[in-house]
A and B are shown apart, each in its own frame.
Chain A
Amino acid sequence: MEAYKKHQSIAALMRRSNVDTDQIIPKQFLKKVERSGFGKHLFHDWRFNEDGSDNSEFELNNPKFKGAKILVVGDNFGCGSSREHAPWAIEDYGFNTIISTSYADIFYNNCFKNSILPIVATKKQLVSLMDEVAANEGVSFTVDLENQELITPAGNGFKFDVDAFRKDNLIKGLDDIGLTLEQTDYIDQYEEKHKQSFPWLWT
């Protein structure tokens, strides 16, 4: 996994809440057996017209958000299906940071497996950020994960919370599976006990 570094990037804005993973990556793109190449399908049904041209009314097609790595979006982002294709598409499109008041549980977990930092803001903080992005051309925020701080030109930044284990993995770009495999002795011991306690699961 790619390590997450401190960066200053353009912030894009979607004033929508309850954006579900069916919108992030519609089902017709879930048949692939590969993990890459989903960025071109991100928000497909909103982003493109019937004839395949860009839908100029869709937020991310606004030229001022070109090259954005930060997505500012309404409550409960990523609800619905568990499909990891959603963060794959977000990451492949170019985002590495999302800012919202809340995320659906599975989506939130999936972000950390894909070098994406989902920042949780308060309602008030989010509204200030949204207004700042809306009022300016190509506004850039700085994300400093090490110090858990978001910095914005208008001073709407804040310190954010993030689980220490997940933060560490993001910064170091660590593979969770490798870390768990270091605990194999404990897993073996647990499994021996499990066989004694629940013999019916092992016959």
Chain B
Amino acid sequence: MKKTMYEKIWDSHFVVEATGQAPLLYVDRHLMHEVTSPQAFEGLRIANRKVRNPHSILATMDHCVPTKNRDLPIADPIAKKQIETMADNCQENGLNLYDMKNPNNGVIHIVVPEHGFVHPGMIVVCGDSHTATHGAFGALAFGIGTSEVEHVMATQTLPQKKSKNLLIQIDGELSKYATAKDIALAITGKIGTAGGTGFVIEYAGEAITKLSMEGRMTLCNMAIEAGARAGLVAPDQKTFDYLEGREFAPKGDNWNKALTYWKSLPSDEGAKFDAIITLDAADIEPQVTWGTSPEQVTGITNIIPAPEDFDDEIKRQACKDALKYMGLTAHTKITDIPVDLVFIGSCTNGRIEDFRIAADIAKGTKVADNVTAIAVPGSYHVKKQAEEEGLDKIFLDAGWEWRDPGCSMCLAMNGDELTVGQRSASTSNRNFEGRQGKGGRTHLVSPAMAAAAATAGHFVDIRNL
């Protein structure tokens, strides 16, 4: 029978289906951070259970960590306790932790690929919705809740329900400065934040195979923003080249064995998908969100819609609420929206490629008056690489702040946040109300668009620069 990549991974991880219970799937890799794990460790302790496979776990600290003055004690006592609890839990259970001082530290979904910890064909989980990132490697990677974190630690398995399979086929060529981020936002705009609910998405087509591994990670990262359980891209030579030589990648004879297996993973020709959506890459222009949901998004050359532009009553109300919260008037040109703060970073866009393209735009410019611009590398490795390439100097000369790694303003848990009414151009993944600080107004964009907005003080069509 012809199988999709998702079906192949499902079948190869099936452990047992006991009568009256859900199928159990085996989990290869378990990623961890400080926010969603403490209660899981506590649960293990109370039940007197042990971590079954400590080597399957890689942990970091990212959500609460400061991105400046890292040598000082953490000022927030509750965050400090969470960080310390993570360190204690990892030590007690013999887990590999890249703590705040570790040169490998960074955002979990940036750090894990850097070390080659996720391979094609794996099942990967993390108490974090953006686990979907690792689908870029052809691994089935999805976010789980804290109870499930505990479940995986104790059993190395999860009871699962099979998802449906959605193929998103994107052919054609992206225009200059239209990026993986713009594809992800355009998809969410097209199918909505619930459009992928119940599905695992496989992204395919010429525009996808042409993306770098970093671009594929950005794309899969936002599969969750379209409601999907996971996103997948078929592994190819780019995937193998990326992995080869990294710390946790197979070595020697095992490399060849792994390669043979990985090459068997892509969906069979003619395999059946439950739904198919096609997009032409050439139609995707740089995207900007205007509302408080990632589906409220449009191209840079467009105007903000009015509630009456929507037929659906709920969407009409959502538009009305969003415009009120965002302090925007219907039918304003996107290019007329001013910004106060620009953030480049996060598990969506905190990789070296993101800082290269942003630096390319920022080079020789100055951040506009009244705009604060911060660049937060996704990891210390990204930071070091960028500094070796002189990117930090470009940002600093242009008036940007160059920070230490962390989730930072993506969810504003660490003190980096917007104040009431402040408006950001942000390369993160969610523009929910208050996401970047209570009363803060977020516009999601690509790194190139963010960098251009920092200089202009409002959104601009980077294709015209």
Which residues on the A side are within 8 Å of B43 (C-beta)? 35
Residue of A27, A32, A80, A203 most packed against chain B (CB within 10 A)? A27
Residue of A27, A163, A190, A200 near B411 (CB, 8 A) is A27
Which A residue's beta carbon lies closest to that of B192? Answer: A76
Asked if residues B24 and A186 are in contact (CB atoms below 8 Å), the reply is yes
Q: Is A17 an interface residue (CB 8 A)?
A: yes
Q: Mark B140-184, 1 if CB is under 8 A from A, else 0.
A: 001111111011001111010100000000000000000000000
Could you tell me the distance between the alpha carbons of A187 and B21 in the complex, rounded to whole angstroms?
15
Asked if residues B26 and A191 are in contact (CB atoms below 8 Å), the reply is yes
Q: Is A135 an interface residue (CB 8 A)?
A: no
Question: Nearest chain A CB to B209's CB is how many angstroms away?
Answer: 25
Asked if residues B145 and A106 are in contact (CB atoms below 8 Å), the reply is yes
Asked if residues B35 and A83 are in contact (CB atoms below 8 Å), the reply is yes
Which B residue's beta carbon lies closest to that of A79? Answer: B193
Q: Is B72 an interface residue (CB 8 A)?
A: no
Could you tell me the distance between the alpha carbons of A7 and B28 in the complex, rounded to whole angstroms?
41
Q: Mark A79-95, 1 if CB is under 8 A from B, else 0.
A: 11111100100000000
Could you tell me the distance between the alpha carbons of A163 and B162 in the complex, rounded to whole angstroms?
12
Residue of B150, B156, B433 near A191 (CB, 8 A) is B156
Within 8 A of A (CB), among B240-268: 250-251, 254-255, 257-258, 261
Could you tell me the distance between the alpha carbons of A176 and B434 in the complex, rounded to whole angstroms?
34
Given contacts A76-B197, A102-B194, A180-B151, contact A110 B21 (CB under 8 A): no
Within 8 A of B (CB), among A149-193: 163-166, 168, 176-177, 179-184, 186-187, 190-191
Residue of B155, B161, B250 near A181 (CB, 8 A) is B155
- Total B residues in contact with A, Cβ cutoff 8 Å: 74
Given contacts A18-B193, A82-B128, A191-B26, contact A35 B42 (CB under 8 A): yes
Question: Nearest chain A CB to B155's CB is how many angstroms away?
Answer: 5
Within 8 A of A (CB), among B1-41: 12, 15-16, 18, 20-22, 24, 26, 28, 35-36, 38-39
Question: Nearest chain B CB to A192's CB is how many angstroms away?
Answer: 12
Q: Is B413 an interface residue (CB 8 A)?
A: yes
Asked if residues B430 and A22 are in contact (CB atoms below 8 Å), the reply is yes
Could you tell me the distance between the alpha carbons of A26 and B430 in the complex, rounded to whole angstroms?
13
Given contacts A32-B78, A82-B127, contact A45 B145 (CB under 8 A): no
Within 8 A of A (CB), among B386-419: 411-413
Asked if residues B24 and A183 are in contact (CB atoms below 8 Å), the reply is yes
Could you tell me the distance between the alpha carbons of A200 and B227 in the complex, rounded to whole angstroms?
33
A-B residue pair count with CB separations less than 8 angstroms:
186
Within 8 A of B (CB), among A82-116: 82-84, 87, 102-106, 109-110, 113-114
Residue of A20, A33, A84, A200 near B250 (CB, 8 A) is A200
Asked if residues A82 and B78 are in contact (CB atoms below 8 Å), the reply is no
Given contacts A27-B413, A165-B22, A180-B24, contact A22 B434 (CB under 8 A): yes
Residue of A34, A164, A183 most packed against chain B (CB within 10 A)? A183
Question: Nearest chain B CB to A50's CB is how many angstroms away?
Answer: 9
Asked if residues A164 and B154 are in contact (CB atoms below 8 Å), the reply is no
Asked if residues B257 and A199 are in contact (CB atoms below 8 Å), the reply is yes
Asked if residues B22 and A163 are in contact (CB atoms below 8 Å), the reply is yes
Residue of B82, B144, B154 near A82 (CB, 8 A) is B144
Could you tell me the distance between the alpha carbons of A109 and B142 in the complex, rounded to whole angstroms?
12
Asked if residues B26 and A31 are in contact (CB atoms below 8 Å), the reply is no
Asked if residues A187 and B314 are in contact (CB atoms below 8 Å), the reply is no
Residue of B198, B257, B433 near A22 (CB, 8 A) is B433
Q: Is A147 an interface residue (CB 8 A)?
A: no
Asked if residues B194 and A84 are in contact (CB atoms below 8 Å), the reply is no
Q: Is B212 an interface residue (CB 8 A)?
A: no
Asked if residues B26 and A190 are in contact (CB atoms below 8 Å), the reply is yes
Question: Nearest chain A CB to B139's CB is how many angstroms away?
Answer: 12
Residue of A79, A84, A103 near B146 (CB, 8 A) is A84
Q: Is B64 an interface residue (CB 8 A)?
A: yes
Q: List the interface of chain A (C-beta within 8 A of B).
A: 15, 17-18, 20, 22-23, 26-28, 30-35, 45, 74-76, 79-84, 87, 102-106, 109-110, 113-114, 163-166, 168, 176-177, 179-184, 186-187, 190-191, 194, 197-201, 203
Of the A-B pairs whose beta carbons lie under 8 Å apart in the complex, a sample of 7, sorted by A's number, is A22-B430, A33-B42, A84-B127, A84-B147, A105-B227, A176-B147, A186-B16
Q: List the interface of chain B (C-beta within 8 A of A).
A: 12, 15-16, 18, 20-22, 24, 26, 28, 35-36, 38-39, 42-43, 47, 49, 63-64, 76, 78-79, 81-82, 85, 119, 127-129, 131, 142-148, 150-151, 154-157, 159, 161, 193-194, 197-198, 227-229, 250-251, 254-255, 257-258, 261, 293, 295, 314, 317-318, 411-413, 430, 432-435, 438
Q: In the A-B complex, list the 3 residue pairs whose CB atoms are closest, starting with the nearest.
A: A200-B250, A113-B147, A84-B145
